[in-house]
Amino acid sequence: MRSESVARSQAETLRICRPDDARGLGVQTTVGRGRGEVLHVFTGEIGPEISQHSLQVDETNHISDTEFIGYLSHACSPNCRLDMRAFELVALKDMPADELLTIDYAATEDRLFRQFACHCGAPQCRRWITGRAERPNVEGQAYLKSLA
């Protein structure tokens, strides 16, 4: 019962948003957060299918139908990380209220549902986002070549 009330109170401090016209949906915190704080404990459906809003749990399974986690935005220098064993979203740095929550997609995914161009603006931005076990696809190779 206590974990259900904790999860509910955590969920009340997050909201789905549309950060801008260039990106899809994202998640914001509605209150300030501290480094190391667990922002959300999540649940969902676990199975072998990969989808746009699923996240990899282990080598063969993904979690989907989560309340917020599938809508986290990517950043090459993220402000959060996912603990896929404890199913927790954890702050990597202090954040003010209304901050867009970001993770590095390659930190959890071997293969992405769809690779994409990154415009996060981080000094170490990879420019083209893939899963950790895949190389840029043809579109990504062309995009990266156009930047050179």
Give the pLDDT confidence of 3-27 residue by residue, as tens digits.
444 444 666 899 999 887 777 899 9
Q: Give the contacts of 20 (CB within 8 A, at least 6 positions apart).
A: none
pLDDT band at 48 (very low <50, low <70, confident <90, very high): very high
Tell me the mean pLDDT in the region 125-134: 96
Beta-sheet pairing, 73-74 with 102-103:
parallel
Q: Which residues contact 132 (CB under 8 A, 6 or more apart)?
A: 106, 107, 109, 110
- Single-letter code of the amino acid located at 83: D
Per-residue model confidence (pLDDT) at position 133: 96
pLDDT digits (tens, 9 = 90+) for 76-120: 999 999 999 999 999 999 999 999 999 999 999 999 999 999 989
- Mean pLDDT, the chain, rounded, equals 91
Rounded to two decimals, the pTM is: 0.88
